[in-house]
Structure 1
């Protein structure tokens, strides 16, 4: 039976509760409008997987300290800022089933709120001289931006190779999970080599996580009906990239033409989904995902046994077995 996140976070349950309280106080502002928006952001938080990675990594590498709380807060502040800005860029009205900030308060306010969150994160680190943590997270934010821009640059031509796909998801998704694990190790005052090893562990987890996300588009027994959202948005993900690699020139052109010109036609989208499935795209993506999972497990096994190690292993397993 699959474990739930509540069970996985058991070794750091009290720290997660304390973190939420600290994070709420960090989000407060004397400006009424900002305070109102911050309260809205805090209420619609997701699974809190990023702070969990920070605290479990810190426990694995030594001890959880005040620096760990600041590191987890820094990641949440900078990541939330990037999400608020992303919704403006994508003209998206919803995030996790809630109205986005730009949908409720318009783009100008959303951009400024993103800037505010960014400045809170920077000041939190500078005020406590956590320059090592700030460097780790700032590098991740830079990579996330580069990954997004790289994907945008290639989206029109649908000309994304498998190697380019890995580079995009490494930057867009894996870099953030890598920074969580690296921040956890750094906040426990571990040596640079251990911090880099934990960063590599997080990268493999992040790659597996994103491939799992991409597989949701094609449906499964747990998810049911295929979504086809990535196809509608003309995003080239691993199952489709692999399927196209196996195709003849004419078949490849036909499928690309469908993706380019029939993005809202559900019948045509289903045709692409069926094509990917019969071409072995799903199986191939699952194999690659499990390969990254195995690489992360190998690194985790280098550390001494503990409750933190057990939970981290369970959390990694959760990322590739989750149903949404």
Structure 2
């Protein structure tokens, strides 16, 4: 599999410019805020979301100044949601580093999230990027709804596949969908093309989340520690499939372990063993490849182009990654 640095080469110069503009978009006259936003930029991830924006724009007409603003808007609003999520989840680590709330406490973290959200809104409004703002705001709304839907269903542990797909479509896929739609819109693409790219991104987002589910049960990859989702009572596709295949008694037993014994390592290991032996991993992997194939079918409706190759490689990276 290609490394991310190889995939990003065709748009490396644009990403470097974006990074400078993104730092600029977070500037404040308050020294404390500047220290915190500097820390956020320093601990940035792999830039996968901006890459989806830039490759999509390149495929749909060409990268423009609006593309850079669209990428910054996605990152600002996404970063705001991550900062707020860490407060809600009482999480003190993000990408192996201390979270904002761990270093500066909850009140400051919430205010920083609000600041980033406002900066994203102003960036769009001040440049009349209303289409981009609408696309990304819709994604943030869906992310909130997906999170609340998951909380509601997890209480009863009664998530079926239809609900699972709705949760991950809103929680995870909506953001990647907005990246692809923003890229297309920033390049001046028509509504049909923007929608096509949004659908492409949604398929990838769903495949991405299923891949993340697989890490929890110990595929051959070295990713997150085993059983994290079980400990957090998140109902994942491998578990849903396995429970649906189980007898009533076995289903009650496993559900009880997830609900009441999710902090006990031996019980978590029992759930993992149950899923592995029930065909849950093979089924989830099959579904992941189905969504990946759906995404490629959409992508193949576009003319052959360096950006199409870049998107295809990026799709493979997100679904074949090791962590």
TM category, shorter: over 0.9
SS of 2:159's partner is coil
Kindly indicate whether the alpha-carbon contact (under 8 Å) linking 1:51 and 1:72 is maintained by their aligned counterparts in 2: yes
Whether the 8 Å CA contact 2:223–2:322 is kept in 1: the answer is: no
Instruction: Note the aligned Cα RMSD (angstroms).
Output: 0.9
Aligned-partner Cα distance in 1 for 2:291–2:223 = 25
Q: Distance in 1 between matches of 2:252 and 2:41?
A: 46
Corresponding residue for residue 24 of structure 2: 25
Deviations 1:11-39 (A, max 9, x none): 11100000001111111111000000000
For the residues of structure 2 that align with 1:34 and 1:247, how far apart are their CA atoms? 52
What corresponds to 2:189 in structure 1? 190
Distance 1:322 1:224, change over 3 A: closer
Matches within 5 A, 1:302-317: 302-317=301-316
Q: Normalising to structure 2: TM-score of the pair?
A: 0.99
Question: Does the residue aligned with 1:37 lie in a helix, a strand or coil?
Answer: helix
How many residues are treated as equivalent by the alignment?
323
Q: What is the deviation of 1:261?
A: 1.3
Separation (CA, whole Å) in 1 of partners of 2:106 and 2:302: 46
Which deviates more, 111-120 or 215-224? 215-224
Aligned equivalents of 2:244, 2:194: Cα separation in 1: 37
* Whole-angstrom distance in 1 between the partners of 2:223 and 2:93: 22
Q: Is the 8 A contact 1:201 1:299 kept in 2?
A: yes
Equivalent residues of 1:220, 1:226 under 8 A apart = no
Match of residue 52 from structure 1: 51
**Which whole-Å CA distance do the structure 2 matches of 1:125 and 1:260 have between them?**
44
Q: Which moved more, 1:217-226 or 1:138-147?
A: 217-226
* 2:215–2:223 CA contact under 8 A, matched in 1: no
2:199, 2:320 → 1: CA distance?
21
- Counterparts of 1:1-324 in structure 2, within 5 Å, are 2-223=1-222, 227-324=226-323
Q: For the residues of structure 1 that align with 2:146 and 2:318, how far apart are their CA atoms?
A: 21
User: Cα gap change, 1:256/1:120 in structure 2, threshold over 3 Å: closer, same or farther?
Assistant: same
**C-alpha separation between the residues in 1 aligned to 2:224 and 2:270?**
14
Task: Quote the Cα distance in structure 2 between the aligned partners of 1:217 and 1:49.
Answer: 22
TM-score, normalization by structure 1: 0.98
Shift of 1:225: 9.0
Moved runs in structure 1, 4+ residues, more than 4 A? none
Q: Output the CA distance in 1 between the equivalents of 2:197 and 2:150.
A: 27
Contact 2:302 2:308 in 1 (8 A): yes
Which runs of 5 or more residues in structure 1 are unaligned? none
Which is worse superposed, 214-223 or 199-208? 214-223
SS of aligned partner of 2:312: helix
Q: Tell me, in whole angstroms, the C-alpha distance in 1 between the residues paired with 2:5 and 2:109.
A: 32
C-alpha separation in 2, matches of 1:31 and 1:200? 40
Distance 2:204 2:192 in 1: 19
Secondary structure of the 1:157 match is coil
Residue 228 of structure 1, CA deviation? 0.4
Q: Tell me the secondary structure at the aligned position of residue 221 of structure 2.
A: coil
